[in-house]
Chain A
Amino acid sequence: MATLHLCDYGSGNVHNVERALARVGANVIRCTTPEELAGAKAVVIPGVGAFGECIASLRAKGFEQPIQDLAASGVWVLGICVGMQILAKHSEEFGTHQGLGIIPGAVRLIPGETPSGEKLKRPHIGWSPLYSDTRDWSGTPLAALEKESPVYFVHSYHFEPDDPNDVLAYARYGGRPIVAAVSRARVFGVQFHPEKSSYAGLSILKSFVQQVEADAA
């Protein structure tokens, strides 16, 4: 069974993420201090709410440098929702906030209107399927995802990597693409909530757990 270290820096969805990871067979170690991350093979970073508060809380608990070091050393990382956004260099939500800078790019407000000028509701709440015209999903958490299966989004901002090749998947909202997943090497981030995305979400977490496990074997 793969062991995953889950960063508990005060984010509201940590318990539901823990439950979903346990459901797909992971041995989850919930870490409330950075010392507990020592020896981690895989780190999961949850996150809900505002970017500024999340990164401040992560930083205050001393998780910033250890996560950056682990990512640089090739440890598997999965960021969820704001946990994905904080992988970026900075965010433009309520002023400018520095992120972890693990994947270069910025977190920006999603488009406010359709290509034909109709108003789009923000936050974007609801179920949308994922797609990519350029990236192959094998070897990523999206490997086993059925193409048409939608996942659950609740957000107003999305992560735009500087290098479009770091975008693993998009979702369509109001006729425009929004960034749904990013990845670079073994670092992954998903904007949606896999822990609330029915079977599709569980299959994503399961693929991640299986890849960590296969790597450790």
Chain B
Amino acid sequence: MPIPLIEVEQLSKRFGSTLAVNRLTFTVNAGEIFGFLGPNGAGKTTTIKMLTGLARPTAGRARLNGFDIVRQPVQAKRVFGYVPDEPQVYGKLTALEFLNFVGDVFEMKPERKARRIIELLKLFGLEHDAGSLLGSFSHGMKQKVMLCSALLHEPKVYILDEPTVGLDPRSAKLLKGILRDIASDGGAVFMSTHIMEIAQALCDRIAILHQGEIVALGSVHELRVLQGKETLEDIFLTLTGTPEERRLANII
């Protein structure tokens, strides 16, 4: 019996007269890597913001490990690790100070916090930069620090918005391995990405978002059968592209 770690029911978000996200419903179960795809402006980041408490849904509900993100925000936020699409961190803190701060916010025990910080910094090759100010880090290095902060408290749920952007090939491969390990250990990963190859290789199930609505939901194999296309890219373009793009997809 699959255990749902992320449950989304009729989730909607309206900005003035614009309905950015319209009645999304899906679950992400334990042991699953769930891909969230969509063209620019489809509503992916808005959905992620609602899941993580950065934005309040206009309607619907989102639960993380059973905790409602609106009604039980603190409990829900303990359950996940989040990496936003832009690695915005505190430029005046060192990497070590930042991770200590995150560990304190998640009320980690000192020994476990210390052990995890050292492990993660070494894992991502940041151990020699631990004492450097984050303001001097490159985009990729900041992204690695963000990943460290999300992995630090070993949550059951991971919400990642374009996690591989800015990572060098070694770190990107490392991350894929980590995500597979998380899933096989019973965790759940909710990941948005534009890179079809990653989604196709990693994700157990995929949702494709278009103009705020889910237009496809299932495993890559199921979507291939349903849409009659070979690759995820073709499926994506067919469902979300303009008529010209769909014509090109059919030709190619």
| A and B bind | no
Which B residues are closer than 8 A to A by beta carbons? none
* Residues in chain A within 8 A of chain B (CB atoms): none
